[in-house]
């Protein structure tokens, strides 16, 4: 499934530790099942039923009673494997239990996908970032848990990469959502009538943030009428793409700083939220209650630990590579979102990914 519908993720699988690859493929397959629901089910009631099916499937899978569905069976196998693992490198943080795949994160993916399944535009650029955090960043958190690795530095970098990837995914989908293919005439769903959400899915939509569209004086009807030549479209795409690029630049700077023995440079906005609770660093051989901040070696100990963590997590950061490549192609095409080559596979990805992995920098 990943090879056909999510080729970059399939290519990047090889850069993950072998024991993490099944989990990565299962997580991505689950995400694809959710992403394909709006296309397969233009009717709102049917979409709702499909999302509820996946909620029930996740609940039963975590209860060790998976349904007879390929992705559910794969997830069940992965859960059994991940939960049985012990992490030998977590000794410096003995107050943290070995991380496991989180059911709440799978459910968050379902809820977020369902919320935006009608292709309604995002109210603000911040709401688009929130969508990306709750989908693409969450996919990276789940993969980190499969290593297993529970790290403030790794999660923080993954958050920025996921936000960039999510924004790019929305930009890539604009031409297909604005001008959807003809409806399936064999479908039992009528193309006439229905709710506003159903009509939006069938007739096309522009999913750029409304605040950016207003700022660039871009009107949805002009996109339908003029396509790539719609006044303000390139400016709006430029502003949104710039935010994605900013997240990649931030992630790159954070990674380089940690690799050089420094800190990530700023606080993690999601620290303290569910799944992002982190215990203080403690020294090996000391009492677990003794924090490194209370001794002279605190900074160096924390830096070494973070450097080790991002090294173990680097394979999970690799989606930054295809994200950056696509943004470069968009810039080269003068931010014309309708250019045909933006929807084609980038033949450079395997080579660029290998080079990034070897250099440990995306």
In terms of Cα–Cα distance, which of 178, 180, 156 is closest to 237?
Answer: 178
Q: What is the dihedral of CA 128, 134, 136, 142, to 10 degrees?
A: 170
Contacts by 93-99 with C-beta closer than 8 Å and gap 24+? Answer: 93/150, 93/279, 93/281, 93/282, 93/305, 94/282, 94/288, 95/279, 95/280, 95/282, 95/288, 96/150, 96/278, 96/279, 98/148, 99/144, 99/145, 99/148, 99/149, 99/150
Q: What gap in Å lies between CA 119 and CA 136, rounded to an integer?
A: 17
pLDDT band at 82 (very low <50, low <70, confident <90, very high): confident
Q: Report the predicted TM-score, pTM, of the whole model to 2 decimal places.
A: 0.88
Token readout for 13 is: 């699988």
Share of the chain above pLDDT 70, in %: 83
Q: What gap in Å lies between CA 283 and CA 305, rounded to an integer?
A: 10
CA angle (5 as vertex; 174, 311 as ends), nearest 5:
95
For the chain, helix, strand, coil in percent to 5 are 65, 0, 35
Contact residues for 72 (Cβ-Cβ < 8 A; gap 6+): 57, 60, 61, 66
Across 238-362, the runs of DSSP E, i.e. the strands, are none
Contact residues for 223 (Cβ-Cβ < 8 A; gap 6+): 178, 206, 230, 233
Q: Please check whether residue 271 is in contact with residue 278, taking contact to mean a CB–CB distance below 8 angstroms.
A: yes
Contact residues for 187 (Cβ-Cβ < 8 A; gap 6+): 42
pLDDT tens profile 107-147: 999 999 999 999 989 999 999 999 999 999 999 999 999 99
- Look up tokens 């299962």; give the residue: 26
pLDDT of residue 299: 66
pLDDT tens profile 271-321: 999 889 887 754 444 444 444 344 345 567 788 999 999 999 999 999 999
Q: Got the DSSP string for 144-192?
A: HHTTT---HHHHHHHHHHHHHHHHHHHHHHHHHHHSPPPP-TTSSS-SS
> Region 158-163: what's the mean pLDDT?
98
CA 75 and chain centroid, separation: 18
CA angle (165 as vertex; 141, 174 as ends), nearest 5:
135
pLDDT of residue 95: 38
pLDDT of residue 265: 84
pLDDT band at 345 (very low <50, low <70, confident <90, very high): very high
pLDDT tens profile 101-114: 899 999 999 999 99
pLDDT tens profile 201-228: 456 899 999 999 999 999 999 999 999 9
pLDDT at 155 over 90: yes
Share of the chain above pLDDT 90, in %: 72
Token readout for 40 is: 């397969």
| Positive or negative: CA dihedral 101, 103, 105, 107 | positive
CB atoms inside a 10 Å sphere around CB 59: 13
Q: Please check whether residue 324 is in contact with residue 348, taking contact to mean a CB–CB distance below 8 angstroms.
A: no
pLDDT band at 40 (very low <50, low <70, confident <90, very high): confident
DSSP 8-class letter at 205: -
Q: Please check whether residue 129 is in contact with residue 163, taking contact to mean a CB–CB distance below 8 angstroms.
A: yes
pLDDT at 191 over 50: no
Q: What gap in Å lies between CA 168 and CA 323, rounded to an integer?
A: 7
């Amino acid at each position: 499934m990943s090879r056909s519908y999510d080729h970059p993720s399939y290519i990047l699988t090889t850069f993950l530790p072998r024991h993490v690859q099944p989990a990565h493929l299962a997580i991505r397959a689950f995400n694809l099942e959710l992403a394909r629901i709006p296309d397969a089910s233009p009717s709102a009631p049917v979409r709702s039923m499909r999302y509820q099916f996946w909620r029930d499937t996740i609940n039963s899978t975590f209860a060790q009673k998976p349904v007879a569905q390929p992705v559910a069976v794969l997830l069940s196998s992965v859960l059994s494997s991940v939960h049985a693992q012990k992490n030998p490198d977590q000794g410096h943080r003995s107050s943290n239990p070995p991380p496991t795949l989180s059911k709440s994160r799978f459910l968050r993916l379902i809820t977020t996908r369902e919320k935006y399944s009608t292709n309604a535009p995002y109210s603000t650029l911040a709401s688009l970032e929130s969508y990306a955090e709750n989908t693409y960043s969450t996919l990276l958190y789940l993969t980190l848990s499969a290593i297993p690795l529970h790290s403030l530095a790794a999660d923080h970098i993954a958050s920025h990469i996921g936000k960039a990837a999510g924004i790019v995914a929305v930009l890539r989908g604009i031409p297909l959502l604005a001008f959807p293919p003809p409806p399936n005439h064999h479908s039992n769903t009528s193309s006439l009538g229905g709710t506003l959400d159903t009509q939006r899915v069938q007739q096309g939509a522009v999913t750029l943030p409304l605040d950016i569209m207003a700022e660039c004086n871009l009107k949805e009807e002009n996109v339908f009428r003029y396509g790539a030549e719609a006044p303000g479209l390139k400016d709006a795409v430029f502003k949104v793409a710039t935010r994605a690029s900013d997240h990649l630049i931030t992630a790159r700077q954070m990674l380089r700083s940690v690799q050089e023995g420094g800190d990530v440079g700023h606080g993690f906005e999601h620290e303290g939220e569910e799944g992002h609770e982190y215990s203080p660093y403690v020294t090996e051989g000391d009492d677990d209650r003794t924090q490194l901040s209370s001794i002279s070696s605190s900074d160096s100990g924390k830096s070494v630990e973070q450097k080790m963590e991002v090294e173990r997590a680097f394979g999970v950061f690799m989606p930054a590579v295809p994200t950056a490549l696509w943004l470069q192609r968009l810039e080269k095409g003068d931010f014309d979102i309708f250019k045909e080559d933006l929807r084609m596979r980038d033949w450079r990805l395997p080579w660029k990914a290998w080079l990034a992995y070897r250099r440990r920098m995306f």
